[in-house]
Amino acid sequence: MGHRLSKIYTRTGDTGTTGLGDGSRVEKDALRVDTYGTVDELNSHLGVVIALCTDELIIKQLLQVQHDLFDLGSELCLPGYAAIEDADILQLEQLLDAHNDKLPALKEFILPGGNHVAASCHVARSVCRRAERLAVSLAREENIRLPVIKYLNRLSDVLFVIARVLARQDGDNEVLWDKSRRQPLIES
């Protein structure tokens, strides 16, 4: 493949527009741009999780997800392009089942935390949910293929389960929501 970016700045976005993959120009705050920008943000958060993670299998799995998210972002950036398929969603479901089978059943809600890598994974999960919400909104206005929404939905579940796995590593544990905690924040 040749050089794709010979210059990082182009000045074409200085007036508040950006180019889609098909060459058309849209406002930088257009819903489509916001959606694939949020997918990019999610991918960056996964980069943080990978940088903090010590589990080689999870690192390998999340690297594959990063590649998938790049494909998904490309699909959103190029109207009419298809990159995410049902097979990608099936892989996420298999990954989800493999990790979830090793965890105890949930009896309480989990607070986002546990340790640094698990908390970072929870941040990625919540950004994934936002990307999914934006994709649903975009699908009401434009032609967005259902596999895009399904992939983001399944990925947020995967990230929740991986956060649970990561929270349990190195003797740490998950932080459970305590609904009976009603105590003063400052003791007198």
- Tell me the average pLDDT of the chain: 87
pLDDT exceeds cutoff 60 at 12:
no
pLDDT exceeds cutoff 90 at 18:
no
Alpha-helical runs (H) found in 2-85: 31-52, 56-77
Tokens representing residue 181 in the block? 């905690």
Q: Residue 87 falls within a domain, yes or no? A: yes
CA-closest candidate to residue 124, choices 21, 42, 50: 42
Q: Could you give the percent of the chain with pLDDT greater than 90?
A: 61
Match 């989800």 to its residue by tokens: 96
Q: What is this structure's pTM? A: 0.86
pLDDT tens per residue across span 38-96: 999 999 999 999 999 999 999 999 999 999 999 999 999 888 899 999 999 999 999 99
Q: Residue 14 falls within a domain, yes or no? A: no
Q: Residue 92 falls within a domain, yes or no? A: yes
* Residue 156 CB-density burial (10 A; 0-12 exposed, 13-18 middle, 19+ buried): buried
Q: Could you give the percent of the chain with pLDDT greater than 70?
A: 80
- How many domains does one find in the chain? 1
Tokens representing residue 166 in the block? 């990561």
* Residue 182 CB-density burial (10 A; 0-12 exposed, 13-18 middle, 19+ buried): exposed
Helix axes 146-167, 116-141, angle to 10 degrees: 170
Q: Which residues, 6 or more positions from 153, have their beta carbon under 8 angstroms from its beta carbon?
A: 132
Domain with 121 in it: what CATH number? 1.20.1200.10
What is each CA distance from 79 to 24, 26, 38, 103, 142, in whole angstroms? 10, 12, 17, 40, 9
pLDDT exceeds cutoff 90 at 124:
yes
pLDDT tens per residue across span 126-154: 999 999 999 999 999 999 999 999 999 99
Identify the band that residue 4 occupies on the pLDDT scale cut at 50, 70 and 90.
low
Q: Residue 79 falls within a domain, yes or no? A: yes
Query: Domain containing 49: what range?
Result: 26-174
The pLDDT of residue 137 is 97
The pLDDT of residue 31 is 87
Residue 154 CA from chain centroid, whole number? 10
The pLDDT of residue 174 is 79
Q: Residue 12 falls within a domain, yes or no? A: no
Identify the band that residue 181 occupies on the pLDDT scale cut at 50, 70 and 90.
low
- Beta-sheet pairing, 175-176 with 17-19: unpaired
pLDDT tens per residue across span 163-175: 999 999 877 687 7
Residue 39 CA from chain centroid, whole number? 6
* Residue 124 CB-density burial (10 A; 0-12 exposed, 13-18 middle, 19+ buried): buried
Q: Residue 8 falls within a domain, yes or no? A: no
Q: What are the two backbone dihedrals, phi and then psi, of residue 26, each rounded to the nearest 5 degrees?
A: -135, 165
Q: Residue 127 falls within a domain, yes or no? A: yes
Number of Cβ atoms within 10 Å of the Cβ of 57:
11
Q: What is the mean pLDDT of residues 171-182?
A: 73
Q: Residue 1 falls within a domain, yes or no? A: no
The pLDDT of residue 135 is 97
The pLDDT of residue 182 is 66
